Amino acid sequence: MNDIIKVACIQFAFKFIKTYSDFVDHVKILLQNVVEADFAVFPENFTAELQYLILNRAMNKLPEFTDQYIELFSKLADEYGMIIIAGTHLNIGDDGNLYNSSFLFFPDGKILKHDKTHLFPIEKRAGITMGNELKVFSTNKGKIAIAICYEMEFPEITRLYTINGAEIIFCPSNTIGEHGFWRVRHCCQARAIENQIYVVHSSMIGKAPLNGMDPWGKSSILSPCEPPWPSNGVLAEAEANREMVIKDDLDLKLLHKKRKRGAALNLKNRRPDLYNI
């Protein structure tokens, strides 16, 4: 396994589209800015751009695009030779319920999925079902996990991921307004410090197909706060509300070194005997 992991974080802006091909072109244009990455991550609900193709822009019709979505990103993962965390997409699970899921596409054709486990109130009102699994995914580039937006606000999730070996947490996010964004961003930074991990936070931006649903975002790639990483733990950061791709190299060897001999040994210094809750 290579100790240096190249990640690309895509800040995706809603655009008006007339055909499914317009959506495909939008995705491909952004991926053209991703060169030799090991992982690329899109934001939460970025496929909601397809609501422009739906009568009355009904959200519950988005699962009808699931097969096309899976076909598209399976081909792109193979073409680019990278693992693509394709944001999230509303889909119908095997039980017939609606889920907000992050799909992971591998160059060899393997597809994995994480169903969002903690739902924001607006998601519950929309009839989305909570997922019930928190998995760490082993790849030939390291151990990764997914925390979808609101999930990052629950420290137990990232703690469980870390206990099970996660080195990088990918956070596809879609936050309505600036307050929501900063809740998730601050939690991303806290989780990186608490668990001595890398966090890749991909934000959705732009004018949403539905009124009142415009997201606010400023994507980032985050590390613990100690040398030789930046003092603020921000390895790369997008401009607020401008579509773009940010990239950085994540050193897993350095991460494990700091877990053993860093300034703030958060993993070693925990007191589960004191706060076993």
DSSP state of 273: T
Helices (H), the chain: 20-31, 66-80, 121-125, 155-163, 178-195, 252-261
Predicted pLDDT at 277: 64
User: Amino acid identity, residue 103?
Assistant: F
Is 44 one of the annotated active-site residues of the chain?
yes
Tens-digit pLDDT profile for residues 103-116: 999 999 999 999 99
**Residue 35 pLDDT > 90, yes or no?**
no
Q: Residue length, the chain?
A: 277
Predicted pLDDT at 276: 77
With beta carbons less than 8 A apart as the criterion, state whether 49 and 42 touch.
no
Return mean pLDDT, the chain.
96
Tens-digit pLDDT profile for residues 151-208: 999 999 999 999 999 999 999 999 999 999 999 999 999 999 999 999 999 999 999 9
Is 143 one of the annotated active-site residues of the chain?
no
Which of 6, 123, 143, 149 is flagged as catalytic? 149
Predicted pLDDT at 1: 57
The residue assigned the tokens 């600036």 is 178
With beta carbons less than 8 A apart as the criterion, state whether 248 and 221 touch.
yes
With beta carbons less than 8 A apart as the criterion, state whether 214 and 206 touch.
yes
The residue assigned the tokens 């934000």 is 203
pTM of the model: 0.96
Predicted pLDDT at 57: 86
Report the SS3 class of residue 116.
coil
Predicted pLDDT at 58: 84
Phi/psi region, residue 127 (left: phi>0; alpha: psi -120 to 50; beta: rest), is left
Distance from C-alpha of 159 to C-alpha of 224, rounded to nearest angstrom? 14
Which of 6, 116, 143, 258 is flagged as catalytic? 116
With beta carbons less than 8 A apart as the criterion, state whether 255 and 266 touch.
no
Domains of the chain: 4-261 (3.60.110.10)
Which of 6, 9, 44, 247 is flagged as catalytic? 44
Is 124 one of the annotated active-site residues of the chain?
no
CA-CA-CA-CA torsion for 260, 264, 265, 271, nearest 10 degrees?
A: 180
